[in-house]
Amino acid sequence: MSVTSSFHPVEILDPRHVRTELIWANEREVEPAYYHLRFQVQNETSCLGILHGELRYRLGTQQETIGPGQWCFPGSGRPELQFKPGTRITSIRFRLLHLQGGRIFPQPHPLSVQGEDAEVLGEAVRPLIHRLEMWPRSGSLLLGRDRIPLADNLDIEADFLRWLALYCRVMRRVGQEMRPRRDRDERVMRAMDLIEQHLMRDPWSEEALAATCGVSVRHLRRLFQDATGQSPRDLYQQRRLELARHGVGETVIPFKELAFELGFRAPSHFTNWFRTQEGTSPRVFRKAGRA
């Protein structure tokens, strides 16, 4: 069902304790490969504005049809999404996280926004999409912001932050609770940063990571489990898979080169690993994304 607006007191959160990152923003007709999918994100937030066509979502007994002029926020609870063929959307995906980890708005259930709030979000995202369209799709493993001049990058960031401020206000108006900030061990924070910055082509091990952070492997695993619910290796593999999905679906990098960039000794090792993770080969994944 649609969520009606209500007033909630504003929580105070120091921007220095917040991590923001734009992953993409675009306007497009939904590709046939994505007409029907089980939506799943962890540390990312995805927002979909329907320009024309129709989106239906379902999570347990909750289901709703989203039409033109509305925005859908699928949430983190793995809802089932079904697009009507020919549906055109505005899509923006980003990270809005506590510096210690975890989404600021966990949003376990899907919700829809319409009326003035939806109109404001739609108007605010257009300048961001226009700026990004000026630059060609990345031909590298990373997202390509390092190939854009500094002034233009700052323009992109300014447009993104304006949209993000509106998103936060809308979330509060529709009753979404902010996740409280949790302090984490500095060694966990440092380990997370090292994993995030690690070049996948270089060797990686929990032993080396623990030594850099000044603790034993066993102690680091215990600290990680308490703080994040996963191990350092789990986080490393999650990051590796994110880069693999981007490299396969959003670039034209040859699979042999991509395997090397992700630290695999042979392309066949990469293909087998990707098939295990995604249930399909890199070739089929790339072809489906460009259908």
DSSP 96: E
Question: Tens digits of per-residue pLDDT, 95-112?
Answer: 898 876 678 998 888 999
Give the helix/strand (H/E) hosting 187: helix 186-197
pTM for the predicted model, two decimal places:
0.70
Q: Please name the residues in contact with 121: beta carbons below 8 A apart, sequence gap of 6 or more.
A: 47, 49, 71, 113, 163, 166, 167, 170
CATH code for residues 186-289: 1.10.10.60
> What pLDDT does residue 290 have?
54
DSSP 12: P
> What pLDDT does residue 109 have?
87
Q: Given this chain, do its domains 15-173 and 186-289 carry the same CATH topology?
A: no
> What pLDDT does residue 183 have?
65
Predicted confidence band of residue 6 (pLDDT cuts 50, 70, 90): very low
> What pLDDT does residue 137 have?
58
Q: Which of 103-107, 139-143, 169-173, 279-283 has the lowest mean pLDDT?
A: 139-143
Q: Which residues pair with 37 in a beta bridge?
A: 81
Question: Tens digits of per-residue pLDDT, 206-260?
Answer: 999 999 999 999 999 999 888 778 899 998 998 898 888 888 877 778 999 999 9
Question: Tens digits of per-residue pLDDT, 174-212?
Answer: 999 888 766 678 888 889 888 888 889 899 999 999 999
DSSP 280: S
Sheet holding 45-52, edge to edge: 18-29, 88-98, 45-52, 71-73, 111-113
Give the start-to-end residue ranges of the domains of the chain: 15-173, 186-289
* Cα–Cα distance for residue pair 59/80, rounded to 1 Å: 6
**Collapsing DSSP states into helix, strand and coil, what is residue 11?**
coil
Report whether pLDDT(139) > 90. no
The yes or no reply on domain 15-173 and CATH 3.40.50 is no
DSSP annotation string for 97-121: EETTSSBSS---S-EEE-HHHHHHH
Portion of the chain with pLDDT greater than 90, in percent: 47
**Collapsing DSSP states into helix, strand and coil, what is residue 286?**
helix
Mean pLDDT taken over the chain: 85
